[in-house]
A = this chain, B = another copy of it.
Amino acid sequence: MDKYQFIKKQLSKTNKKNDENYVVSRIWHLINNVDVKMITQQYILRDLATKRYALADIYFPQFGIIVEIDEPYHQTEEMLLKDKIRQNDIVQALECEVFRVTVSDNIVEVNKQVDFIVSEIHKMIAKDGFVPWNLQEEYDPITYIRAGFIDADDHPVFKTISDCCNCFGAGYNGLQHSGARHKYQSEIDIKGLKFYPNGEWNNQLEADDEHFTEFNFDPAKNQAYLEKRLHKMRHELALFAHVKSELGGYEYVFKGWYRLDVEETQRIGKLLYNRVSKIMPTYFPKDGEAPTILAKAFDQEREIARFYDEGVLGVFQKKYPKYQIR
């Protein structure tokens, strides 16, 4: 996969809607910068309290910018339903700036609205701290290993469950299962989960990603797996949601570090997990060399990140002043 395929796909998602195709392609081509990442038709969590989310017509993750295209017609229920699988990939973008383009039959008016958004994005690109979009790095576990942590807020995406495990030093080349044990942390499993109807399984990820449940429609099977997880398996998970990919297949999005809620699970008869951290430390493989750790970040007593580089540490501290660095 490359940027050309990626962006083509973003444009093609608007194929059926000519107004959207016009606006999206105009924004992309006038930004005219392959260092900018643009995602179309992305579910965005916009309000934590009400858990309200919306399907953003265009989302620029580097700038936290959403563009809504007000078309003469609206999405049908059917279209929304068809898109249900993608709803499991919800990006938290609470502080997003929202721009609107109101489509009319006046091409000059439509262009003027788009041009304003483009000029705003050009200002953002010119700002210090703009990080160019690097598609190869994004999908490569080594990017997160070298950083020393993986943060759900960065919306990390992987092609395979092996890559998910490799963020934590697994060193796998291939893996047939839906996960594996964490090689460094004896309490943690790494798990890829489908949050859409999948045979007898009906797992649910809350819209704000703070909780999820694992549930089997067959009461016997549900109880058996519940007991196994409660009494024989690890209670913490590095969670990767299996979602529809930009390019047609499926991929895994890192959601965070979760812990089984034993009490509530027994009460409701359904495995319930709570997120304990959006950030997890990553690991170099055991058989390879690793740089010296300069510092670690802690959320109370929980280690959530390790740092090999002063620059990365500095950016982290600026973004997360609440965490202790030791």
Contacts and interface: CB of A to CB of B under 8 A. Distances in A.
Interface of A: 2-5, 7-9, 11-12, 15-16, 18-19, 21-22, 25-26, 28-30, 32, 34, 104-108, 110-111
23 contacts: A2-B105, A3-B107, A4-B22, A4-B105, A4-B106, A5-B105, A7-B22, A7-B107, A8-B18, A8-B19, A9-B18, A11-B18, A12-B18, A15-B16, A15-B21, A21-B21, A21-B25, A22-B25, A25-B29, A30-B30, A32-B111, A34-B107, A34-B108
A106 B16 CA distance: 26
Given A15-B16, A34-B111, A107-B34, A8 B22 contact: yes
B30 A22 contact: no
Contacts of A111: 32, 34
Contact of A25 (B25, B34, B105): B25
A16 B21 CA distance: 12
B4 A25 contact: no
Given A4-B110, A5-B105, 10 more contacts: A2-B105, A4-B22, A4-B107, A8-B21, A11-B21, A11-B22, A12-B18, A22-B25, A26-B29, A30-B32
